[in-house]
């Protein structure tokens, strides 16, 4: 099948592959430095509040900036957005290297050190802006991939992310353990530079100009909300997608401290690398088989599974149990992400997709930092002391007597709430409404919207 520019599906697939790999390298780089920062910060301070604040801060920055990212994606060419993101990330990581070089030796071990937090915030800024690439990538799927193959393409996105996550997980721990944080920053700078050079060479003739859009300013919140509400039940879909972020926020704050109690920093990175193979397998399965007739149903089943895994991951302080649950969790996550993307790509017109993806990212990301900011202090000051003291006998029949039993108790509660939320969502009218809307779009029926800018052909490549 050829597009209006005369390029075959195979040619468009090759372009998409270049963009996908480049985005994966960008994600690898920021995740590599992000993981390294988290490991290093905990090892320097031995305080779970540090990892909770840094993890929650990362997600909070994504939540605050995602609307702006989506607005920029709608207003400008996708490749221009990707290139700008790469330039900014390179500048931030370079500045972080300078700050680290001049940081006093005794500044990295105290949570009250302004040098420590200046360094962390600069790294976070570079990592957060890289997420603009993910919004742009989701819209290039709409531009380059035929509608009936988009679920498969989203599966490939998950599989490639798994590869980058695998590499990141191994080398972040090894890099911090053997080479230190300074060398880690230098490696990240080299990778960002390589990705920037490559994206400058990529061409996207299907988008010679941005698609005609009503996006205004740099932060079009009103337009984002309007675009979401144009599709019946779409806001509910975004709410459904936040369920797995509830567990994600808990694990963001507490999983690294828990894992570092069972493994060395080098081995903990290897554990994440093993888990990343699950991400690769999950994405590959979606790329091969798709998401079924109703991606939303697939999403809710996957969310319920993540809740079960989150509940049992710390039942006993067994290294093999932690490894197995991380792997299975990674196996399921691509289905949650791909389902949301596939539905949005099908039912939302391209000129509004950037803001819808940005709004979804903001809403979903906001769930994790709230959880992380609340859970980390509660764990540090209440649950862990209680579990190691007066409550040890009470929880031992369920959680054993190994290290970090208090963390295991929090994991179990969060997982149970997630399963209950997914089950409840499957019974709601809005679940049926979103499912109907997806089926309508899949057979080419007119979307049930009233905005004159909305067209039923939401997947056709556009020249602007």
What angle, 0 to 180 degrees and rounded to 10, lies between the N-to-C axes of helices 265-289 and 243-262?
Answer: 150
Q: What is the domain partition of the chain in residue ranges?
A: 9-204+221-442
Backbone torsions φ then ψ of 8, nearest 5 degrees: -75, 165
Task: Provide the pLDDT for residue 111.
Answer: 67
Let me know: does 142 contact 345? Beta carbons within 8 Å: yes
Q: Quote the tokens at residue 101.
A: 């070089």
Task: Provide the pLDDT for residue 87.
Answer: 94
CATH class of residue range 9-204+221-442:
mainly alpha
Task: Provide the pLDDT for residue 50.
Answer: 72
Task: Provide the pLDDT for residue 44.
Answer: 77
Backbone torsions φ then ψ of 392, nearest 5 degrees: -60, -45
Task: Provide the pLDDT for residue 193.
Answer: 93
Give the CA distances from residue 365 to residues 59, 201, 361, in Å, rounded to whole numbers and listed in that order: 5, 32, 6
Task: Provide the pLDDT for residue 427.
Answer: 86
**What is the rounded CA–CA span in Å between residue 277 and residue 157?**
14
Per-residue pLDDT of the chain (464 residues; tens, 9 = 90+): 445 455 787 888 889 989 998 988 888 888 888 888 888 887 777 776 777 677 767 777 887 888 888 888 888 888 889 999 999 999 999 999 999 888 887 666 666 678 888 888 899 889 888 888 888 888 888 888 888 888 888 888 877 766 666 666 667 777 888 888 888 999 999 999 999 999 999 888 877 766 666 666 777 778 788 888 877 778 877 777 766 666 666 776 788 788 888 888 778 877 877 877 888 888 888 888 888 888 888 888 988 898 899 888 888 888 889 899 989 988 888 888 888 888 888 888 888 888 888 888 787 777 666 676 777 778 778 887 887 777 777 787 777 776 678 888 888 888 888 888 888 888 888 788 778 777 776 666 544 444 434 433 334 443 33
Task: Provide the pLDDT for residue 88.
Answer: 94
Task: Provide the pLDDT for residue 294.
Answer: 83
Let me know: does 135 contact 66? Beta carbons within 8 Å: yes
């Amino acid at each position: 099948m050829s597009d209006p520019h005369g390029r075959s599906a195979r040619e468009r697939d090759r372009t998409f592959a270049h963009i996908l790999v480049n985005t994966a390298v960008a994600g690898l780089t920021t995740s590599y430095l992000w993981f390294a920062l988290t490991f290093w910060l905990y090892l320097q301070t031995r305080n779970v509040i540090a990892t909770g604040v840094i993890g929650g801060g990362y997600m909070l920055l994504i939540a605050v900036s995602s609307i702006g990212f989506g607005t920029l994606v709608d207003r400008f060419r996708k490749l221009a957005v990707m290139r700008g993101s790469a330039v900014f990330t390179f500048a931030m990581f370079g500045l972080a290297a300078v700050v680290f070089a001049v940081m006093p030796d005794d500044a990295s071990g105290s949570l009250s050190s302004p040098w420590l937090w200046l360094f962390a915030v600069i790294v976070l800024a570079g990592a957060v802006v890289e997420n603009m690439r993910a919004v742009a990538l989701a819209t290039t799927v709409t531009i380059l991939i035929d509608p009936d193959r988009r679920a498969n393409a989203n599966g490939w996105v998950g599989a490639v992310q798994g590869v980058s996550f695998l590499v990141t997980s191994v080398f972040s721990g090894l890099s911090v353990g053997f080479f230190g944080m300074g060398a880690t920053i230098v490696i990240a700078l080299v990778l960002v530079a390589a990705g920037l050079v490559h994206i400058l060479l990529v061409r996207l003739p299907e988008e010679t100009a941005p698609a005609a859009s009503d996006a205004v300013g740099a932060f079009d919140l009103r337009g984002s909300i309007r675009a979401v509400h144009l599709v019946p039940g779409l806001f509910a879909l975004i709410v459904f997608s936040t369920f797995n972020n509830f567990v994600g926020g808990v694990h963001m704050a507490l999983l690294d401290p828990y894992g570092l109690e069972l493994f060395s920093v080098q081995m903990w990175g290897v554990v994440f690398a093993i888990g990343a193979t699950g991400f690769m397998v999950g994405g590959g399965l979606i790329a091969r088989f798709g998401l079924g007739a109703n991606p939303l149903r697939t999403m809710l089943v996957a969310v319920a599974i993540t809740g079960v895994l989150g509940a049992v991951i710390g039942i006993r302080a067994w290294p093999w149990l932690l490894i197995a649950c991380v792997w299975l969790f990674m196996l399921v996550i691509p289905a949650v992400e791909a389902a949301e993307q596939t539905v949005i790509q099908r039912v939302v017109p391209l000129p509004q997709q950037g803001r819808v993806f940005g709004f979804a990212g903001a809403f979903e990301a906001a769930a994790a930092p709230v959880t992380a900011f609340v859970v980390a202090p509660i764990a540090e000051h209440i649950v862990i002391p209680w579990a190691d003291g007066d409550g040890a006998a009470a929880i031992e029949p369920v959680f054993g007597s190994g290290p970090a039993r208090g963390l295991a108790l929090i994991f179990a509660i969060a997982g149970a709430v997630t399963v209950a939320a997914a089950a409840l969502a499957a019974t709601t009218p809005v679940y049926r409404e979103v499912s109907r809307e997806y089926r309508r779009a899949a057979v080419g029926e007119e979307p049930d919207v009233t905005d004159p800018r909305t067209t039923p052909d939401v997947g056709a490549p556009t020249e602007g």
